[in-house]
Amino acid sequence: MDESPRSLFFAMTYPACPECTLEKTRNHSGHWECSICGHEWPKAPEPEAMRVVKDAHGTILGDGDTVTLVKDLKLGGGSQVLKAGTKAKNIRLVDGDHEIACKIEGSPIALKACFVKKA
């Protein structure tokens, strides 16, 4: 097959028009346009990359995992300390600075992934 830039341009395929089903479409920045009937429709959004959260040892974490604290953590605003080795079951991964939402001893806690390891 000829690999010239001209042959690569014509090898690209565009979706058929949902109105007239012909494949004479134009590619615009945010939408497609049919050259025959003039129908315009939005392009499908790009799928977002999956967020990867890793523990202190580089193991990938997922929703529902059980994790163990790798160091003592002092809870903000008080004198309570979570000891290393404390387990949190059925974690949830969330957006933000603290990637893990869980319950430890019945209290809701937000943790950073760098302070836990997968159990």
Residue type, 72: D
Residue type, 111: L
Tell me: pLDDT of 9 over 70: no
Q: What is the rounded average pLDDT of the residues 53-65? A: 94
Q: What is the rounded average pLDDT of the residues 39-43? A: 90
Q: What is the rounded average pLDDT of the residues 61-87? A: 91
Q: Which of 63, 117, 62 is nearest to 87 (CA)?
A: 117
Tell me: pLDDT of 4 over 90: no
pLDDT confidence bin for 1, thresholds 50/70/90 = very low
pLDDT confidence bin for 12, thresholds 50/70/90 = low
Residue whose entry in the numeric block shows the structure tokens 């836990």: 116
Tell me: pLDDT of 50 over 90: no
Domains along the sequence of the chain with CATH? 5-42 (2.20.25.10), 53-118 (2.30.30.40)
The token pair that represents 66 in the structure block: 């059980």
